Amino acid sequence: MRTIRGRLTFAFAIAMGAALVLFAGIVLSSSRRSAERRMQARVLNAAELASRIIEQGGTGVFGGVIVSEGGQPNQPLLSQGIRRLLGVLPGYLIVSDSLRVLYESPPVERLSDRDRSRLARASIQAFSPDSAAGFLTMDSTRLFVRMQFERSDTRAPSLRVLAAENADALQLHRLDLFTPILVTLPLIFLLSVIVAWGLSGANLQPVDRLIDDLEAIQDGRSLHRRLPVESDENELDRIAEKINAMIARLEGSFAGLRRFTADASHELKTPLTVLRADLERAMGSPNVASDQLPALEEALAETARMADLVDSLLTLARADEGRFDIHRERVDLDAMVRDVADTASMLGEGAGVTVTLGEVVPLVVQGDPVRLRQLFLNIVTNAVKYTSRAGSVAISLEQRGTDAAFIVQDTGLGIAAADLPFIFERFWRADRARSRGGERGGFGLGLAIAQWIAHAHGGAINVASRLGRGTTFTITLPATRQQ
Ligand code: ADP
């Protein structure tokens, strides 16, 4: 759950789940309460109806209420007419006086003896001036019982009516609801989580777009671009506005920095040229003392290095400013590669490194010959520079698909895997101490310039290296056509 979409859906699922469980609980308990109320009403009805029948019987309507068995006034029975009428009523029904049961409905007769006598006792022993109600747990079942006292003072003894209904039905009622709830609620849950996932995805799409747009602006050269802002009411648009303002400020400072580097390099060029000319003149003068010569030579070498640095800085600063238009013309790469290989051979001779020219396929590109030569030279000089004596450098030009591939393979020092991602950064050198001064003295700008030239031609530089084993640089450039 690391994405906002995942977290939103998860939070929604939890809220939805809790709401559904709560809903199910409320539905179940309220339906149980209403079923209970309905049952109580039914039992009350039955009890009242029974007492009404008995009351009517008292007026002699249904053939009298009580008939004495064998003329025994203390052993009364309910008359047949009343019994028949009571038999029509649903549920459990007992009519008794304070001593014994006078009538039991068929469901009571079907109860076990124990349950039957328990119910009879409840009816006989119940004492209340009014009606009473409650649950009675039997062996086989649980009953909701309602007592009704017949208080007709015209008859003695007064009668009591017990009506009851099976309370287990309530449980069953709950089960009835349980099944649909168990099926529908998980379905609703699942559907709503799917909808939530879809909706959050749709609502987060502008965030994805914002991330894509930002990614496109990430590199320093795209700072002129801005994020699209549709209105200022939307939170994301407000964020985009703030980011745009920040990018504008960054663009300003970057531009200032580039301009400063370009201007400073440019300003340094002339004094350095003058200095170089002066030093050369001084060295050539017959009046110069021989002990001053080494110092003058060193000064000249350092001035040359500084002039190189200023040149590289100016190249990069102009490239950053977009002030370097790559001048495009037809370039025969094979001829250029042969030429570069010759230069490399000369460099290699001085350094004790063998330079070999392998396969050279005739290929043509559209590009700037000066810049392309600079690119190739940067790579081959590095190869010679970072290869020890008795090592070798192999140069070739191949065709790879529609691209021309310039490959320089050396058996030199190699580059550690951890260093590879940084080699194209400005002023980066694998081992500053190793390359400082002497023949390997560099500024760490050569590869940055090489990469810029390759990119400006729609190409790329790839490097594969193993420390101590050697390095292979491959420069690919889109070839216009084969010869
Ligand atoms: P430098 O002026 O130091 O040569 P580059 O930008 O040309 O600067 O190269 C950056 C760094 O990459 C070098 O300092 C060196 O450590 C490493 N490097 C470049 N080419 C090679 C190579 N062929 N073999 C080993 N290391 C290399």
The C-alpha atoms of residue 296 and residue 302 are separated, in whole angstroms, by 10
Q: Is the CB of 116 under 6 A from ligand 1?
A: no
Rounded CA-CA distance 317/258 in Å is 5
Q: Is 447 in the pocket of ligand 1 (CB under 6 A)?
A: yes
HSE-CB for 429 with a 13 A CA cutoff: 18
> Per the structure block, which two tokens stand in for 404?
């021309």
Distances in Å between the Cα of 198 and the Cα atoms of 9, 195, 201, 422, 441 are 9, 5, 5, 42, 59
Please provide the DSSP assignment of 76-145 as one string.
EEE-HHHHHHHHHS-SEEEEE-SSSEEEE-HHHHTS-HHHHHHHHHHHHH---SS-EEEEEE-SS-EEEE
Å from CA of 431 to ligand 1 middle: 9
CA distances from 125 to 66, 99, 122, 161 (A): 20, 8, 5, 12
Report the Cα–Cα distance between both ends of the chain, in Å, rounded.
57
Tokens of 170: 């309530």
Q: Name which of 431, 432, 436, 440 is nearest 389 in CA terms.
A: 440
Taking residue 84's Cβ as centre, other Cβ atoms within 10 Å add up to 13
Residues in the chain: 483
Is the pLDDT confidence value at 433 over 50?
no
What sign does the dihedral 367-371-377-379 (CA atoms) show? negative
234 secondary structure, DSSP code: S
pLDDT, tens digit (0-9, with 9 covering 90-100), for 238-248:
898 999 999 99
Q: What angle do CA 415, 420, 421 make, to 5 degrees?
A: 165
Whether the model clears a pTM of 0.85, i.e. scores above it, the answer is: no
- Checking if the pLDDT of 154 tops 60, the result is no
Site to probe by mutation for ligand 1, drawn from 311, 376, 408, 415 as the one with most ligand atoms within 8 Å of Cβ, is 415
Q: Can you say whether residue 110 is alpha, beta or left, with left for phi > 0 and alpha for psi between -120 and 50 degrees?
A: alpha
Rg over CA atoms, the chain: 52
Q: Does any ligand 1 atom lie closer than 6 A to the CB of residue 443? A: yes
Q: Hey, which of 313, 384, 386 would you mutate to test ligand 1's pocket, going by the most ligand atoms within 8 Å of its Cβ?
A: 386
Percent of the chain with pLDDT over 90: 45
Residue 311, number of CB atoms within 10 A of its CB: 16
CATH architecture of 4-174: 2-Layer Sandwich (3.30)
- Give 445 Cα–ligand 1 centroid separation in angstroms: 9
Domain regions of the chain by residue span: 4-174, 240-321, 329-480
Q: For residue range 24-76, list pLDDT tens digits in order.
A: 999 888 888 888 898 889 998 998 888 888 877 765 555 556 655 555 555 56
Burial of 179 (0-12, 13-18, 19+ CB in 10 A): exposed
Can you tell me the distance from the alpha carbon of 446 to that of 263, in angstroms, rounded to the nearest whole number? 20
- Tens digit of pLDDT for each residue in 278-297? 999 999 888 888 888 999 99
Q: What is the 316 CA–ligand 1 centroid distance (Å)?
A: 17
Give domain 329-480's CATH number out of 3.40.250.10, 3.30.70.2740, 3.30.565.10, 3.50.50.100: 3.30.565.10
Residue 60 is predicted with a pLDDT of 55
pLDDT at 435 over 60: no
DSSP 221: G
User: Of the ranges 32-41, 315-324, 433-442, 457-466, which one carries the lowest mean pLDDT score?
Assistant: 433-442
Q: Give the bridge partners for 162, in sequence order.
A: 94, 147
Q: What is the pLDDT of residues 89-142, one digit of tens each?
A: 888 999 887 778 888 999 999 989 999 988 888 888 776 555 578 888 888 888
CA distance 451 to 459: 9
Tokens 């099926």 correspond to what residue?
A: 183
**For position 52, what pLDDT does the model report?**
83
Cα separation of 395 and 407, whole Å? 6
DSSP 8-state assignment for residue 193:
H
Read off the pLDDT band of 390 (50, 70, 90): very high
Q: Can you tell me the distance from the alpha carbon of 312 to that of 452, in angstroms, rounded to the nearest whole number?
A: 12
The 10 Å Cβ neighbour count of residue 128 is 11
Q: What separation in Å is there between the alpha carbon of 429 and the centre of ligand 1?
A: 6
Q: SS3 for 20?
A: helix
Summarised one tens digit per residue, pLDDT across range 293-310 is: 999 999 999 999 999 999
Q: Left, alpha or beta for 458 (phi > 0: left; psi -120 to 50: alpha)?
A: left
Nearest-CA residue for atom 13 of ligand 1: 429
Asked whether 375 lines ligand 1 (CB < 6 A), one says: no
CATH class of 240-321: mainly alpha
